[in-house]
Amino acid sequence: MGKLMYSCEQAARLASRAMEQPLGAWQRLLLNTHLVICRRCTNFTRQIAFLRRAAHRVPETLEKDGD
């Protein structure tokens, strides 16, 4: 069973990759299982999603009055 559980590093790596392309069914299952029991990796996953929302706002933060 041990090898069926992801470490935090593996889970975090996959959470990052999932933002680029869909994971396979098995990877998704193992990742989601890890996230259910791991608050740290859940926090990480939410944080990188937030950082993407922030990045999309960067161009408008570069706007200034008068130009």
CB of 23 closer than 8 Å to CB of 49: no
Specify the amino acid at residue 38. Answer: C
Q: Is 58 in the site for other proteins (CB under 8 A)?
A: yes
Instruction: Give backbone dihedrals phi and psi of 58, rounded to 5 degrees, phi first.
Output: -55, -50
Helix (H) or strand (E) holding 40: helix 39-61
Among positions 1, 22, 37, 64, the unique one binding other proteins when judged by CB under 8 A: 64
Binding residues among 5-44 for other proteins as defined by CB under 8 A: 7-10, 12-13, 16-17, 19-21, 39-41, 43-44
Helix axes 25-37, 39-61, angle to 10 degrees: 100
Closest distance to other proteins from the beta carbon of 1 (Å): 16
Interface residues with other proteins (CB under 8 A)?
7-10, 12-13, 16-17, 19-21, 39-41, 43-44, 46-48, 50-59, 61-64, 67
